[in-house]
Amino acid sequence: MCGIFAYTGPDATAGAIVLEGLKSLEYRGYDSWGVAIRTADGTISVIKHTGKIGSAKLPHIVSHTALGHTRWATHGGVTQANAHPHLSSDGKIVLVHNGIVENYQTLKRELQELGYAFRSETDSEVIAHLIAETRKSVSDPVACVRTAFERLIGMNGVVCYFADDDTFVAVKNGSPLVFARAGKARLLASDPAALAPHSREVLFLEDGDCIAISPDGDTYYGADGMKKQMVFQLLDFDPEDAQLNGFPHFMLKEIHEQPELIRRITEAQEEAVKKAAVMIRESYGTYLVGCGTASYAALAGTYLFSKIAGRHVNFSIASEFAYLTQFIRERSLVVPLSQSGETIDVIDGVRDAKMRKARIMTITNVQGSSLFRMADYALLLGAGPEKAVCSTKAFTAKVALLLLIAHELAGNRERGQETLKQAAAAVADVLDRKDELRALAERMHHRDHLFVLGRGVSYPVALESALKIKEVSYIHAEGFAAGELKHGVIALIEQGTPVLIYNPDDETYHDTLSAAHEVKARGAYVIGVSSRNSDVYDAYFHIDDCADATIIPNVVVAQFLGYYLAVLKGFDPDKPRNLAKSVTVK
């Protein structure tokens, strides 16, 4: 949440470089944005706006140094004053921040008593003044930032620029920060994908680490304050992967990438899958944890492990996991699922489990991310950058990996690979018939409510489908276990209410069909997604049967419905209101 980008180097268009960096980070927050540029005479020029960056351009200012921020509001409304960067009172210290300063009110009162005047309502401005105040007694920029940072409670990432010293200092605790060198240029960002156009080799700052970039060179310090060697990692994706490449939206592009991605996972992940299966086999209890879409992939995992491998694997929403870790012990295995690898609710639970000596096996899309680094073993989804705020390809990639691991545990790897190949082909077929889904969306886009039903492993898919639809189209969509219908939900069905029903040809088929009849009898407009048509469906979308992998093409139906509903209602599917990718605050 919130994107940070900073540049210093030989190029005289630093402001424009930072603006481009912010555009690629905008999915981390789009309430407001701002850029601070060091002008030729050493003064700082700040440009801030509310709303999305869109195709914004900056006035041309000759500059070799700039830093910027794209904001997801936490403390203080969406106003220009609350947009970052924030300046110290004398305008010589510039600050951008990602995170929450939990004790900001105490610090603010203290600074106000010392005579500091605040221009914004943010917790971030407190840090700028705190650094300025600290500088009175600690002149070295690194020591100064470190001393001030130690007073902050919470998970924070800060990049501070001292105009007088022409020095950047970056420090983090929880919120991600990545550093890169590109020739003589130095760059910092909250996400490696933003650095990829400049350099494929990046350094992920560890918690408590600090980096200083000054005219004398760049220096890296560990949490103990001692100089530390920089270890750069080669990014595993091409910068081209982060472009629209002819698609109108990233969501649509990422939906289309799924058949190829599933094929790749089937073929390329054999060693990782074997190792994961061994870790699960050797554990005293395995716990899958994740948030939002990742939590639904985790829940699907519990069904897949039970059905395919006869193995009980626990599941918890990551934000609740911290209240359930009392039974975690040595040899427990915790499996965080996270596209970004930076979701704070997941990190918190994993940290707690690590303290209890659990082993950690992360499944993530971002190499070098916090959860990647916290793991004893990490599996990479290899899905390439996911830029749309709502997750599509990362969900199917997680489910594909879990399904392969379950088959590996059951000793029938080939069967898993075979069903995934069928699933990849079935997804390609959904892509070919997407106009049918657009027509369905046209029929439904004026409705206020929509329900999604499924049983067994189709239940988590119903939850994920409802999330996909509601988060981009703002239609109230709810997913339910089809069997729960009679226990309350059915009261919500009215004449014409759309009900999407997943009814694969498995052990749930007949019971789910009964649910279809029950809602139909109460006036619902029933959309059946199945390999078998039935008279009960008002609309039918055929999905080839791919055994337990059928949930993969099934969810793609809802991804398209969400996309088309959003577009028909005039919303930007890539940047839904109030949301941001990579939820690094609580």
> Rule CB under 6 A: is residue 293 a binding residue for ligand F6R?
yes
Catalytic residue of the set 274, 357, 581, 586: 581
Contacts by residues 415-421 (CB-CB < 8 Å, ≥ 24 positions apart): 416/308, 417/266, 417/267, 419/546, 419/547, 419/548, 419/549, 420/262, 420/263, 420/265, 420/266, 420/549, 420/552, 421/263, 421/266
> Rounded distance, CA 441 to CA 560, Å?
9
Is 294 near ligand F6R (CB under 6 A)? yes
Distance spanning both ends of the chain, measured CA to CA: 10
- Candidates 196-204, 211-219, 339-347, 446-454; binding stretch for ligand F6R (CB under 6 A): 339-347
Nearer to ligand F6R, 162 or 315 (CB): 315
Nearest CB to ligand F6R, comparing residues 37 and 178: 178
Alpha carbons 342 and 438: distance in angstroms, whole number = 34
Q: From the CB of 345, what's the least distance to ligand F6R, in Å?
A: 8
Nearest distance in Å: CB 219, ligand F6R: 31
* Catalytic-residue membership of 228: no
Q: How far is CA 330 from CA 109, 333, 343, in A?
A: 45, 8, 24
Binding mask 567-586 for ligand F6R (x = CB under 6 A): ---------------xx---
Cβ distance to ligand F6R smaller for residue 145 or 297? 297
* 85 DSSP 8-state letter: P
Residue 136 among the catalytic residues? no
- DSSP 3-state of 385: coil
> In the complex with ligand F6R, which residue's Cβ is closer, 160 or 298?
298
Q: How far is the CB of 230 from ligand F6R (least distance, A)?
A: 26
CB of 298 to ligand F6R, least distance (A): 10
Nearer to ligand F6R among residue 413 and residue 586 (C-beta):
586
Task: Print the binding letters for residues 296-335 with ligand F6R: x by CB under 6 A, - otherwise.
Answer: ----------------------------------------
Give the side-chain half-sphere CA count within 13 A for 157: 27
Residues whose CB is less than 8 angstroms from the CB of residue 136 and which lie 6 or more positions away in sequence, other chains included = none
The tokens describing 166, both together, are 């022409």
| Strand residues in 236-296 grouped as ranges (E) | 286-290
**Residue 371 beta carbon to ligand F6R: minimum distance, rounded to whole angstroms:** 8
Name the segment binding ligand F6R (CB under 6 A); options: 68-76, 258-266, 292-300, 507-515: 292-300
The answer to whether 383 contacts ligand F6R (rule: CB under 6 A) is: no
Task: At 274, give phi and psi (nearest 5°).
Answer: -60, -45
Is 440 a binder of ligand F6R (CB under 6 A)?
no
> Cβ distance 3 to 18 under 8 Å?
no
- Torsions phi, psi for 233 (to 5 deg): -115, 145
Among 141, 292, 301, 416, binds ligand F6R (CB under 6 A): 292
Using CB under 6 A as the binding rule, whether residue 370 contacts ligand F6R is answered as no
Query: Considering just the CA atoms, what is the radius of gyration of the chain in Å?
Result: 25
Phi, psi dihedral angles at 93 (to 5 degrees): -120, 130
339 near ligand F6R (CB under 6 A): yes
**Which residue of this chain has its Cβ atom nearest to ligand F6R in the complex?**
292
Do 325 and 356 contact (CB within 8 A), yes or no?
yes
Beta bridge partners of 63: 13
Between 93 and 469, CB nearer to ligand F6R:
469
Round to whole Å and give the CA distance between 436 and 99.
43
Instruction: Name the minimum Å distance from CB 414 to ligand F6R.
Output: 30
Q: Is 291 in the site for ligand F6R (CB under 6 A)?
A: yes
Task: List the structure tokens of 3.
Answer: 């994107």
**173 CA to centre of own chain:** 18
Q: Does 390 bind ligand F6R (CB under 6 A)?
A: yes
Looking at beta carbons only, is 349 or 498 nearer to ligand F6R? 349
Q: At closest approach, how far in Å is the CB of 365 from ligand F6R?
A: 8
Among positions 465-484, residues that touch ligand F6R (CB under 6 A) are 467, 471
516/555 with CB nearer ligand F6R: 555
Q: In angstroms, give the least distance from the CB of 465 to ligand F6R.
A: 11
Give the single-character DSSP code of 206: P
Residues 346 and 291 sit within 8 Å (Cβ to Cβ): yes
Least Å distance, CB 242 to ligand F6R, is 16
Q: Could you give the CA distance from residue 35 to residue 45 in angstroms, rounded to a whole number?
A: 8
Binding to ligand F6R by residue 254, rule CB under 6 A? Answer: no
Is the alpha carbon torsion for 280, 350, 343, 195 positive or negative?
A: negative
Distance CA 43, CA 70 (A): 22
Number of residues that bind ligand F6R (CB under 6 A): 15
Cβ nearer to ligand F6R, comparing 339 with 550: 339
- Chain residues that interact with ligand F6R, rule: CB under 6 A: 291-294, 338-340, 343, 346, 390-391, 467, 471, 582-583
Q: Which of the residues are catalytic?
A: 2, 581
